[in-house]
Structure 1
């Protein structure tokens, strides 16, 4: 059955000319029906084509398709693969982070590509103009739906699909590797029997011989890696000697490189005939195309490594050369198993445990193990593929059972029920207890609970829900109305926790920091922001290796961190060093992930402070966030608000004593050129500085003296001569004027100041605030007007007036 016969207008959208047996059997359900479809099939059997068939039908009907990719690293690869649709004038758009989102493009896209986490975040904000495109989906394809059973990520996928179905009821196409309970997934998605498919191992293009091999575990984990590597090479050697390729999965990017280096030496020692050093043309091509020296030297010996840290061009070349047979032994992380169709005669899983920067050392997911082994066997080249799991003898039986019986897919919703329930309440989709039960009935959790009532404690489900609601009420996320209506409503804390995708413990910690500000226990400082983030629940599994401890202690020397655990101190050290623009090499491996998550959390903390504590506290959080993102000094952080001013230019300008956007405007283009910028850069930087708010303070007829016991109400005018922006205006009086900050310090005010006036406004033009001048016992008083912008990393603008008391 040729593609051109079935879908002539979409023939160029497929990477092949004929459908295989599995695709032919599923084709009528996908093209001739509007029912939901669930298809379980072995890895490498051609499931992607089922997704593309469903997408073609939606596009032909004038609809919009959504493809949910299991990993963020795979969304861009899918965008590249689907250039074929672009050539047919259908647009493909990958929805990424909040700041990179282009709502206009998303709204106009024919095919959207998202991860479960991004879709969860977007559907929580579906009623905003920015994310309204998620309610206009006609078909939703879930790739690798067995991720329902993944720790933490599984519950996200589950509740998001249930929510999407309530929002716009798209047709759902769920694709999965082989799993025993595919009928449960079909029941959850309301897929009828005639559109539910269980394609068994007989549909594998190449038979799989999978097994478990053990090694002797030692005292040294570093030495154990090499024991497992030699075991992997023992398994690969017979295939390599017959020109069969081997794919070895290891736990980290760094391990792919180190294993490839060691393997080259071992292959030479064993005299395994490999490599293409005699191929002058390939030698020249690899020398010219690869920037990575280690990779360039390895590929000539037929060995390579593949991970997300390589450039896209380098990854593409490694994949191409592996397919062409130039590379015979490839070391990779698990991402390759999920995304790229790169089979090998032999697959070895060297590492069954992985280090996660946020979780510490964890067992590799059974889903990952099965996915990797599924890459064994090259269609069209091999009659059989060989897959091996290398593990400690104590774990061998666990993996043998997994290979023999497969893995039933379970719901993980119970593990994070409170978080997801809070999100539904915050969106207003649940307003009473009965609606909670209605919501649960739309979940995979409910279906599995019916199949295994004791395992899921199903008889006590209603009580479990009541307990969950009571806990949300006790922790301040939800309010329940009077006994007459028992209505359920989210508090501001609950709404913010949902909007910013926070774990509830973290949201409670952020709210407590806001309470500290409101209770007058002291104004917050950057240290408070950093500590609140370092102790967030999202980082609860971060661990500090022994080799990192000295670097952590050096960064935190002189800081009081006695209450923090080792992992929390590590996060704090990474954030401090990032803010100063220099992360020690000992911490570099985890720093990127921790910084990325920390900036998201600081942004969320800023929203909490803005809503619950005021604009000045929010502005402080925004400045801390900008420092971590850019690595600039506190006095220059405001420069990062200017377009085209990054860390380098901010530091260069600050060295010339140009530290604020106001300084940039005062210097003019000539002054910026004199400070070291080229004229082509100076002009847009100058214009960028002009596009920010700029404040002048007019004290009017403010008295210089006042008699003891007298009082006078004055008016101070705040004038924004720049672009309009949200602002917080605060007036304080300090009975110890010597402690007051200078007008350019950017401090949040002395701890002993008394707040007279505080207001939040959209500052366009002028704003007048009343200030009471009261004769007190002190000889003199100092009044400070402070203006802060919660959405910009600008230092607060401050000005003072001193009044003598006579």
Structure 2
């Protein structure tokens, strides 16, 4: 059945001309019905086309489609793939945490692409103008819905889909790899029997021969990697000798490179006929690669692929693998979820991986099945071969997985409090009855009906009540008076939800606010230590060489109450702030910094709400320094749009360390400091868009007689852009008054001058902007006591 025959207006949106058997069987459900659809089918059987069919119907009906991709890397991939829709005048917009959201583009997009986490965050803020586009969705396509069973991420997907259905009730089309309990997913999503599809292994384009191979585990984990690598090459070698291709999955980006380098030597030693060094044209093409190691490797028929490579290099590797120039490819698991690059032989070398936040973890069963599903090239192979290489002790576990598959379970119970708090904070739950109504919309409830004992369903109401009582006891939720069953989020609960915090972290941040509000002076070290000690980092581990580097960074600093992994986080933050992260800490630094800056932003909101603008400003500056690696006196430069670590350092070296210095230097002065004319203009304009403070002390006295009192006014003038500010007055370091206002132009601050029992008094007026990384503006006057 030709695409042009079925969808003439969208024929160019598909990468093929004919639908296969699986796709044909779903056409009536997808195109001739408005019912929800659930389709389970083997990897590489063509499920992406089902998503595109559902999107085409929504577009043809004048609606908006949302595609939920399982990984951030795949959202960008879809943006590239779906240029085909752009050529048909339909707009595709990707919403991720990595990009600045353009609400107008999102609002007018025909196809939105998001991850579950970003959709969760957006739906929590659906009543804001910035995120209101999520309530205008006509069809929601869930790619890889079996991720419901993934650690942490599964519950996010579950509650987000339930919330989206309550917000705008879109048509839902859920796609997954083969799963034994597809009917539970269909029942959860209200997909009727006639639009629920379970395609078995007979729909695989190529039969799969999958098995488990063991290796002898040693004492040295580094040596074990090579034992598993040689085992993987043993399994791949027969296929490579027959001009087949092999895809080997390893646990990290770094391991793809190391494994490829070692494999080249081993292949040469085994005299396996591979490579294209005699192919002049390919030799010339390989020069287009940006990665030097990769350029040398591909000529021997070996390559590596991971998300850290440039798009150019990834695209070339994928193209050459499809063309057969690359015969042995080492990759991380991302490739299994994304690009369709089947190989005759697939080997999973690593079943464990290092997560910067979780330490060593087992690869999820879903990932394992997804990777093995890449075995077999349609049109080339009759059989695909897939192998899991693991320790003997784990062999039976993986054999059961391959033989029985994996039932999809709900993970909501593991984080019920967090998600319940979010719903209460949004106002969708206002009493105990609402809680039960909400639970009935979840996969957790559906699965609990199938396995009531496993899900402790007989005690469900009691568990919910315990959960609510705990939220109340910890200050996230408050209830009405006796007899009133109402539930309402506290400011603490709202902030925990808004900033996507684990509740233990939110409670810790609130505790820091309590201690600060009671008079304890807050310092940058307190802010960084609070973030390093967050529950989000509780599973971070530190190897011995990392601990030595940590001790060197933290020497002479108070951090003994933190666990080794949390000390590692603190060391990364402190060294990142100065732009000098030790080499031993760099492998995990990017992920840790990315999460830490989010937490610093959240802590800033807590301090702003419960302590005041000056404390929040301290957190904003700590966040900017951790993100950009600039000195404390130059951190204000990062508040200028377009100024990050490189430009801030360049300007600071030339003596321009504040936005005020930038304005005083002017465009010519910025050009003299080394900026190009165009950049200098943009930086100057950026500095103009910030607040700028001037103070006038008026008739403020220089002396006062002992026992006398007088009130004088200090004028605080904002000659820049309006902004929210906190103004404090201190006398000899002790706070007298504090105000919080939106400073548009002029504000006057009353200052009481009194003849105290001292020789002199130092009065300081300080202005801080809680949402900017600008240094507080402080001016002082000294009054002598006669």
TM-score by length of 1: 0.96
Q: Distance in 2 between matches of 1:207 and 1:696?
A: 75
2:482 is aligned to 483
Q: Deviations over 1:576-622 (max 9, x none)?
A: 11110122221111111111111111111111111111110111111
Q: Is 2:521 the partner of 1:523?
A: yes
- 3-state SS of paired residue (2:616): helix
Aligned mates of 1:681, 1:322 — CA distance in 2: 41
Task: Indicate whether 1:325 and 2:305 are aligned.
Answer: no
2:457 matched residue in structure 1: 458
- Is the counterpart of residue 789 in structure 1 residue 769 in structure 2? yes
SS of alignment partner, residue 719 of structure 2: strand
| Partner residue, 1:406 | 405
Spell out the pairing of 1:201-280 with structure 2 (5 A cutoff). Answer: 201-280=201-280
1:738 maps to what in 2?
Answer: none
Q: Distance in 2 between matches of 1:671 and 1:441?
A: 64
Q: Distance in 2 between matches of 1:81 and 1:670?
A: 44
The residue that corresponds to 1:311 in the other structure is 310
Task: State the alpha-carbon separation in 1 of the partners of residues 199 and 677 from structure 2.
Answer: 65
Which one of 745, 751, 754 corresponds to residue 771 of structure 1?
A: 751
Q: Which moved more, 1:388-397 or 1:639-648?
A: 639-648
Quote the offset at 1:667 in angstroms.
2.7
- Partner of 1:722: helix, strand, or coil? coil
Contact in 1 for aligned 2:410/2:447 (Cα 8 Å): yes
Q: How does 1:687-702 map to 2 (within 5 A)?
A: 687-702=685-700
State how far apart, in whole Å, the 2-side matches of 1:185 and 1:651 are: 53
C-alpha deviation, 1:700, in angstroms: 2.1
Q: Deviations over 1:234-271 (max 9, x none)?
A: 11111111111110000000111111111111111111
CA apart distance, 1:97: 1.7
Alignment-derived partner of residue 469 in structure 1: 468
Q: What whole-Å deviation, never above 9, does each CA across 1:211-238 have from its counterpart, x for those lacking one?
A: 0000110111011111111111111111
Q: Is the 8 A contact 2:421 2:497 kept in 1?
A: yes
Map of 1:742 onto structure 2: none
Cα deviation, 1:12-70, whole Å, max 9, x if unaligned, reads: 11111111111111110001110000000000000001100000000000000000000
Task: Name the counterpart of 1:57.
Answer: 57
CA contact (8 A) 2:529 2:559 kept: no
1:383 partnered with 2:363: no
CA–CA separation in structure 1 for the residues paired with 2:670 and 2:45: 61
Distance 1:152 1:777 in 2: 61
Structure 1 unaligned blocks of 5 or more: 735-752
Other-structure match for 2:625 = 627
Q: Secondary structure at the match of 1:574?
A: helix
1:679 Cα deviation after fit = 4.2
Q: 1:8 to 1:695 in 2, by over 3 A?
A: same
C-alpha distance in structure 1 between counterparts of 2:474 and 2:686, whole Å: 44
Aligned equivalent of 1:645: 643
* Deviation of the 1:680 alpha carbon: 4.1
SS at match of 2:721: strand
Deviates more, 1:579-588 or 1:203-212: 579-588
Q: 1:648 to 1:415 in 2, by over 3 A?
A: same
Deviation at 1:98, TM superposition (A): 7.3
CA distance in structure 2 between the aligned counterparts of 1:467 and 1:26, rounded to whole angstroms: 44
Cα distance per residue 1:716-751 (max 9 Å; x no partner):
2111111111111111111xxxxxxxxxxxxxxxxx
SS of match in other structure, 1:723:
coil
Partner Cα distance (2:262, 2:119) in 1: 41
In structure 2, do the counterparts of structure 1 residues 98 and 123 end up closer, same or farther at CA, with 3 Å as the change threshold?
farther
- Matched with 1:396 is 395
Change (3 A) 1:82 1:474: same
List gaps (5 residues or longer) in structure 2.
none
Q: For the structure 1 residues 711 and 251, does the alpha-carbon distance in structure 2 shift closer, same or farther, using more than 3 Å as the test?
A: same
- 1:673-688 matched pairs, under 5 angstroms: 673-688=671-686
Instruction: Give secondary structure in 1 for the equivalent of 2:437.
Output: helix
Question: 1:14-29 to 2 correspondence within 5 Å?
Answer: 14-29=14-29
Deviation of 1:550 (Å): 2.1
**Residue in structure 2 matched with residue 154 of structure 1 by the alignment:** 154
**How many angstroms apart in 2 are the aligned matches of 1:397 and 1:78?**
37
Q: Give the secondary-structure state (helix, strand or coil) at the position aligned to 1:717.
A: strand
Q: Deviations over 1:658-688 (max 9, x none)?
A: 2211122223334334444444443333332
Change beyond 3 A, Cα 1:678–1:322: closer
Which residue of structure 2 lines up, in the alignment, with residue 291 of structure 1?
Answer: 290
Secondary structure at the aligned position of 2:720 is classed as strand
Moved over 4 A (4+): none
Task: For 1:484-523, list aligned pairs within 5 A.
Answer: 484-520=483-519, 522-523=520-521
Determine whether 1:536 maps to 2:534.
Answer: yes
Report 1:55-204 matches (<5 A): 55-97=55-97, 100-204=100-204
Q: Deviations over 1:130-160 (max 9, x none)?
A: 0000000000000000000000000000000
Quick one: structure 1 residues 92 and 676, their matched pair in 2 at CA, closer, same or farther if it must change by over 3 Å?
Answer: closer
RMSD: 1.1
Find out whether 1:13 has 2:13 as its counterpart: yes
Q: SS where residue 502 of structure 1 aligns?
A: coil
Cα drift, residue 294 of structure 1: 1.2
- Contact 2:377-2:384 at 8 Å conserved across structures: yes
Q: Distance in 2 between matches of 1:15 and 1:782?
A: 74
CA distance in 2 between partners of 1:146 and 1:687 (Å): 49
| Alpha-carbon distance in structure 1 between the residues aligned to 2:82 and 2:99 | 24
Question: 1:4 — aligned with what?
Answer: 4
Structure 1 residues 282 and 120, CA, compared in 2 at 3 Å: closer, same or farther?
same
Q: Does the 8 A contact of 2:731 with 2:761 survive in 1? A: yes
